Chain A
Amino acid sequence: DTAVSQTPKYLVTQMGNDKSIKCEQNLGHDTMYWYKQDSKKFLKIMFSYNNKELIINETVPNRFSPKSPDKAHLNLHINSLELGDSAVYFCASSYVGDTQYFGPGTRLTVL
């Protein structure tokens, strides 16, 4: 069974659209994250939630809004998509201070 899953795997959309990426973990972890990996493979944390509470928000435009309905889910909604949002987005989960387990990634392409 997949420990950290993301949907969709690929997302191709026009500039200006609104889209969501979903993430679920079945590991019982209390902390979940969203990372963005750009074309140069640089991986940067965007958000972190602990027990449904936002604890890290790394100067991400407010067009990005994470939502955690429960400890096992952390969804990412993006409004008014821009070309620069094209990247691979990774979800991860962990216990606080412990190893992070990553999802397979969602490749977002904004045309």
Chain B
Amino acid sequence: SQQGEEDPQALSIQEGENATMNCSYKTSINNLQWYRQNSGRGLVHLILIRSNEREKHSGRLRVTLDTSKKSSSLLITASRAADTASYFCATDSPGGYQKVTFGTGTKLQVIP
């Protein structure tokens, strides 16, 4: 069954507000990645966090990872209309070659 579940499924906020998306997974992982997908486009990699890391930052993005709870969160601060997209978490499980499993995604709408 599917590895990652994102929460919420959809999120609508005003420009300037912060957006938080959560991802839960079921089995142990090597790393967890967050991707963005604009409507009708391919996926763009945002951040990779390894299983021995707890927090990572990239610009306005902050990712946390709690392996004991098998969960991760993506925080986008000071959101912009251009952040409107679907956001997916993806987990890479140990035990051989890279098999990445994607979550269901969170659809974020940032209202100008």
Cα-based distance from A31 to B96 in the complex (angstroms):
13
CB distance from B39 to the nearest CB of A (A): 10
**B101 beta carbon closer than 8 Å to chain A:** yes
Cβ-defined contact, A43 with B42, below 8 A: no
Q: Which of A8-49 contact B (CB under 8 A)?
A: 31, 33, 35, 40-45, 48
Cβ-defined contact, B45 with A99, below 8 A: yes
Cα-based distance from A76 to B44 in the complex (angstroms):
22
Cα-based distance from A90 to B35 in the complex (angstroms):
14
Q: Which residues of B contact A104 (CB under 8 A)?
A: 41-42
Cβ-defined contact, A105 with B100, below 8 A: no
Closest chain B residue, CB of each to CB of A40: B104
Cβ-defined contact, B97 with A31, below 8 A: yes
Q: Which residues of A contact B48 (CB under 8 A)?
A: 98-99
CB-based A-B contact count at 8 angstroms: 61
Q: Which residues of A contact B101 (CB under 8 A)?
A: 45
Cα-based distance from A96 to B45 in the complex (angstroms):
16
- B98 touches which one: A40, A90, A96 (CB < 8 A)? A96
Closest chain B residue, CB of each to CB of A95: B98
Closest chain B residue, CB of each to CB of A90: B42
Using A42-B2, A43-B88 as known contacts, say yes or no to A100 and B100 having CB atoms under 8 A apart: yes
Cα-based distance from A100 to B90 in the complex (angstroms):
10
Using A41-B86, A41-B105, A42-B2 as known contacts, say yes or no to A101 and B97 having CB atoms under 8 A apart: no
**A97 beta carbon closer than 8 Å to chain B:** yes
Chain A interface (Cβ < 8 Å from any Cβ of B):
4, 31, 33, 35, 40-45, 48, 50, 55-56, 90, 92, 94, 96-105
11 contacts between A and B (CB under 8 A): A4-B42, A42-B104, A43-B102, A96-B97, A96-B98, A98-B48, A98-B98, A100-B45, A100-B90, A102-B35, A102-B43
